[in-house]
Amino acid sequence: MPLGKFHKKFPFLNIEETIEFYSVFEGHPFLDFIKLDDDLFTCIQKNIIQRISELKAYFVFDENASFQKDSESILMRLAIGDRKSYTVYKKENISQVRGRAIYKSLFEKNIIIKEKSREKPLREFQGQLIKKSLRNYTIQDKIHFVNNFTRFWFNFIAPAIKNSLHKDELLQNITNNIESFISLSFEELSNKLLIRNYKEENIINHGSYWDKNIEIDLLIEEKNGTIIAGEAKWKKHKVCKNILNKLQTKCQKANLDADYFALFSKSGFSKELQTKNDKTVLLFELKDFEELY
């Protein structure tokens, strides 16, 4: 569901609240019938934690108990890990053949989608020698959940059920980690805002970028060769120049010749960044996300 459609359902939320609630409730099976008229944590308790027994039925993917268990393990690892496709089931001690079968099933059921890696192969030509330490290196795609609520469920609720956590322990875990959880949604919305600003028809590639050394939140490549690299920060403090410096360093390490550097911040920017007279640096604050309405 687009952010604008979500906002139409709950127009009384300000932009910060809209992003927070969207990050948790977008894709909730009862979204048309619930009220999000309280603070985020109260709404999570009323509409998720107190309804766990009802909601569990929406996350049964297979009648085979063993296949269902492994599917849940993979989805929990995807929700809390780096989302790289192969490392997920290796960490869960699931065979590659079984892991691929589970992925195939979850893709077909529209639970997850794939983001292709843009990393260039280590070998530019057949027979090229590379360092011994890199010979077993595999370029990996990343996996995304189709909606935010499913990611929330497997990030917080499913592990709590698996580990028999008390309600207070579950709430504490959500409190401690909700900011980093929302960060990924904010990153994805930042990508959509960049696409809106640069027009999708002019773009040949967008999304995050990762390779064996670094990760960049956002990287857009236009048909005319322009490259925009970006970082999105859902933090309670202002973004400072050191974030820009780190982004520029990442681009250098990845041999990316970026033309523009886009920074997205929940809490605004330092005076140094705001007064920086550099047309290659693009600053986006919360109010800019209202364009997505």
- The pLDDT tens digits for 116-137 are 998 887 666 666 666 766 666 6
User: Kind of pairing, strands 215-216 and 209-210?
Assistant: antiparallel
Mean pLDDT of 74-83: 90
Mean pLDDT of 58-79: 92
The predicted structure's pLDDT at residue 268:
96
Indicate the burial class of 61 (C-beta count within 10 angstroms; 0-12, 13-18, 19 or more): middle
The predicted structure's pLDDT at residue 127:
62
Nearby residues of 293 by Cβ (< 8 Å), 6 or more positions away: 3, 4, 7
pLDDT band with cut points at 50, 70 and 90 for residue 177: very high
Q: Which fold has domain 1-119+142-165?
A: Arc Repressor Mutant, subunit A (1.10.10)
The predicted structure's pLDDT at residue 82:
82
CATH architecture of the domain formed by 184-292: 3-Layer(aba) Sandwich (3.40)
The mean pLDDT of the chain is 92
The predicted structure's pLDDT at residue 135:
63
User: At residue 267, does pLDDT exceed 90?
Assistant: yes
As a whole number of angstroms, the distance between CA 270 and CA 280 comes to 17
What DSSP string runs through 243-260?
Answer: HHHHHHHHHHHTT---SE
The predicted structure's pLDDT at residue 36:
95
Residues in the chain: 293
How far, in whole angstroms, is CA 86 from its chain's centroid?
18
Closest alpha carbon to 102 in 115, 116, 117, 86: 86
* Percent of the chain whose pLDDT exceeds 90: 80
Mean pLDDT of 54-73: 92
User: At residue 274, does pLDDT exceed 70?
Assistant: yes
More confident residue, 100 or 11: 11
The predicted structure's pLDDT at residue 126:
66
How far, in whole angstroms, is CA 155 from its chain's centroid?
12
Mean pLDDT of 27-39: 95
As a whole number of angstroms, the distance between CA 205 and CA 110 comes to 23
pLDDT band with cut points at 50, 70 and 90 for residue 85: confident
Cβ–Cβ contacts within 10 Å for residue 41, how many? Answer: 13
User: Kind of pairing, strands 142-145 and 215-216?
Assistant: unpaired
- The pLDDT tens digits for 204-224 are 999 999 988 899 999 999 999
Structure tokens at 15: 């932009």
Domain residue limits, the chain: 1-119+142-165, 184-292
The predicted structure's pLDDT at residue 229:
97
